[in-house]
């Protein structure tokens, strides 16, 4: 006897259909994979001052794998402002390069390469145009209340979508060129100037200055947003960073394909009726309500696809179904 399948329950949400478009995510943004050893250990795809240039490597370790405080998985990234030779060294985690051409903090910058023509290039390919940057954080301010920083210390998560190369700060300071022409858009999150002792979600919008398609994303995170801070001890924990896309209803090129593709959930199994479809590499992605990707499955054509999700907690989830000629998304309840 066939079991009756229950159609997706829609709660305050309607299906959106659009031309399939790339929806990339920053790699290893849950900080589960790490490379290096000792003080040079860093998240895969990201860097700290210990793999920077110039005076950056002379500073203390400022990026740590934390197995005791994490939001998801096994680890989080802890970014901590340290000190060396009596000077504060801003905690840093970046997909680019920490450059410290002199001992003057004002000369430091993060970029996709060293200076104007360096051969050490570190960039993450990224061609999406997301709506928002999201993630989870905790923050502890330095206990020092004197000097530049202290009670005014805040953490920063900054994502820049760009062409070619990009530098932060953007304004040239004599050691890198003006990169403003390469900027496509950016999203900036600043923590409160206070302690945040439990995992807290942030979500900030991307602001676009160009209609061009990005080539790369530069992610810069620091425990001391003030580049000239003189105090050590501020700590920023980050985990499960990602981006969220809005599915537009403009420019639909195959609404029948999306409407006729059925998605069901029953007894911890998700079913996707992909009969009479011929889209190459069609996939379904499932997200929890924080925007974290929890399941991604490639679909086979001309069959009823099914896959078990018994590892997920019962509750509401988002799904995103993408083919070469259609795009469909919605909400579902997994019991």
Q: Provide the percentage of residues in the chain whose pLDDT is more than 90.
A: 54
Q: Which helix (H) or strand (E) holds 110?
A: strand 109-111
Last residue of a domain, one of 244, 270, 292: 244
Q: Name the one residue in this structure whose structure tokens are 């029953």.
A: 266
One domain for residues 17 and 58: no
What are 59-72's pLDDT values in tens digits?
Answer: 999 999 999 999 98
Instruction: Please determine, for residue 277, whether its predicted confidence score (pLDDT) is greater than 50.
Output: yes
Q: Is the pLDDT of residue 157 over 70?
A: yes
What mean pLDDT, rounded, does the chain reach? 83
Fill in the DSSP letter of residue 106: G
Residue 27 lies in a domain: no
Structural domain tally of the chain? 2
Q: Are residues 156 and 63 in the same domain?
A: yes
- For the purposes of burial, counting CB atoms within 10 Å of the CB of 314, is it exposed (0-12), middle (13-18) or buried (19 or more)? exposed
- CA separation for the pair 262, 287 (Å, rounded): 18
How large is the average pLDDT for residues 298-323? Answer: 81
pLDDT band at 247 (very low <50, low <70, confident <90, very high): very low
Does 11 fall in a domain? yes
Instruction: Please state the rounded mean pLDDT for residues 296-302.
Output: 81
What pLDDT digit, counting tens, does each position of 112-139 carry?
A: 998 888 899 999 999 999 889 989 999 9
Say which residue the tokens 């003189």 belong to: 230
Q: For the residues 197-224, what does the mean pLDDT come to?
A: 95
SS3 55: helix
DSSP class of 44: T
The mean per-residue pLDDT over the stretch 194-202 comes to 94
Contacts of 170 (CB under 8 A, 6+ apart): 178, 179, 180, 183
Give yes or no: residues 122 and 252 share one domain. no
Instruction: Please state the rounded mean pLDDT for residues 326-331.
Output: 74
On the question of a cis peptide bond just before residue 169, with omega within 30 degrees of 0, the verdict is yes
The stretch 196-222 carries a mean pLDDT of 95
The span from the CA of 148 to the CA of 151, in Å, is 9
Work out the average pLDDT over 279-288.
78
Average pLDDT over residues 82-93: 92
pLDDT, residue 281, reads 64
One domain, residues 50 and 143: yes
Are 100 and 52 in contact by the 8 Å Cβ rule? The answer is yes
CATH of the domain at 309: 2.60.40.3080
Both 148 and 260 in one domain: the answer is no
Question: In CATH, what number is assigned to the domain containing residue 43?
Answer: 2.60.120.890
pLDDT at site 253: 40
DSSP string of 248-303? --TT-S-HHHHHT-EEEEETTEEEEE-TT---TT-EEEEE-TTS-EEEEEE--TTS
Q: What is the mean pLDDT of residues 6-13?
A: 33
**Residue 222 falls inside a structural domain:** yes
- The pLDDT of residue 274 is 65
Q: Are residues 270 and 306 in the same domain?
A: yes
pLDDT for the residue numbered 301: 72
pLDDT at 20 > cutoff 80: no
Helix, strand or coil for residue 151? helix
The residue segments making up the domain with residue 273 are 6-22+247-334
- CA distance readout (Å), 196 to 31, 135, 199, 237: 20, 14, 8, 10
Q: What is the pLDDT of residue 18?
A: 33
Q: What is the average pLDDT across 303-315?
A: 83
- In this structure, are 283 and 321 located in the same domain? yes
CA gap 303, 276 in Å, rounded = 8
Is 28 contained in some domain? Answer: no
pLDDT for 288 equals 83
Any domain includes 182: yes
Q: How confident is the model at residue 324 (pLDDT cuts 50, 70, 90)?
A: low
266 shares a domain with 220: no
Point out the domain boundary residue: 213, 244, 275: 244
Query: What is residue 9's predicted lDDT score, i.e. its pLDDT?
Result: 33
| C-alpha span between 198 and 180 (Å, rounded) | 36
312: closest CA among 335, 332, 296? 335
Greater confidence (214 vs 7) lies with 214
Give domain status of residue 1, yes or no. no
**70 in any annotated domain:** yes
Residue 275: band (very low, low, confident or very high) from pLDDT cuts 50, 70, 90? low
Q: Same domain, yes or no, for 93 and 233?
A: yes
65 with 82, same domain: the answer is yes
- The token duo for 245 is 């896309």
Task: Answer whether 0.85 is exceeded by the pTM.
Answer: no
Which residue carries 């004002």 as its tokens? 106
Domain end, chosen from 224, 244, 264, is at 244
Structural domain contains residue 61 = yes
Return the exposure string of 234-249: e unless at least 16 CB atoms fall within 10 Å of the residue's CB, then b. bbbbbbbbbbbbebee
Q: Give yes or no: residues 257 and 239 share one domain.
A: no
CB 149 within 8 A of CB 231: yes
Three-state SS string over 181-235 comes to HHEEEEEEEECCCCCEEEEEEEEEECEECCCCCCCEEEEEEECCCCCCCCCCCCE
Q: Are residues 173 and 289 in the same domain?
A: no
DSSP tag of 32: -
């Amino acid at each position: 006897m066939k079991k009756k399948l229950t159609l997706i329950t829609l709660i305050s949400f309607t299906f959106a259909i659009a031309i399939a478009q790339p929806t990339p995510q920053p790699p290893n943004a849950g900080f589960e994979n790490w490379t290096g050893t000792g003080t040079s250990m860093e998240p895969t795809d990201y860097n700290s001052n210990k793999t920077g240039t110039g005076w950056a490597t002379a500073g203390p370790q400022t990026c740590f794998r934390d197995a005791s405080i994490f939001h998801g998985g096994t680890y989080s990234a802890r970014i901590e402002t340290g000190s060396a030779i009596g000077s504060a060294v801003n905690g840093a985690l970046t997909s680019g390069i920490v450059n410290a051409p002199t001992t003057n903090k004002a000369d430091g910058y993060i970029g996709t390469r060293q200076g104007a023509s360096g051969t050490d290039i570190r960039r993450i390919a990224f061609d999406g145009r997301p709506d928002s940057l999201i993630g989870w954080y905790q923050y502890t301010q330095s206990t020092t209340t004197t000097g530049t920083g202290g009670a005014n210390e805040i953490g920063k998560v900054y994502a820049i979508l760009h062409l070619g190369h990009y530098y932060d700060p953007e304004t040239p300071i004599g050691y890198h060129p003006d990169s403003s022409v390469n900027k496509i858009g950016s999203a900036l999150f600043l923590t409160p100037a206070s302690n945040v002792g439990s995992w807290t979600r942030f979500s900030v919008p991307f602001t676009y200055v160009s209609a061009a398609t990005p080539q790369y994303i530069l992610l810069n995170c620091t425990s001391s947003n003030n580049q000239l801070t003189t105090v050590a001890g501020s700590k920023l924990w980050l985990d499960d960073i990602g981006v969220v896309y809005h599915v537009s209803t403009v420019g639909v090129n195959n609404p029948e394909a999306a409407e006729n593709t059925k998605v069901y959930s029953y007894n911890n199994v998700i079913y996707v009726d992909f009969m009479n479809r011929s889209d190459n590499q069609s996939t379904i992605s499932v997200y929890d309500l924080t925007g974290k990707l929890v399941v991604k499955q490639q679909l086979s054509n001309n069959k009823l696809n099914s896959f078990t999700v018994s590892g997920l907690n019962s509750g509401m989830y988002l799904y995103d179904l993408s083919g070469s000629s259609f795009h469909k998304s919605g909400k579902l309840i997994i019991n």
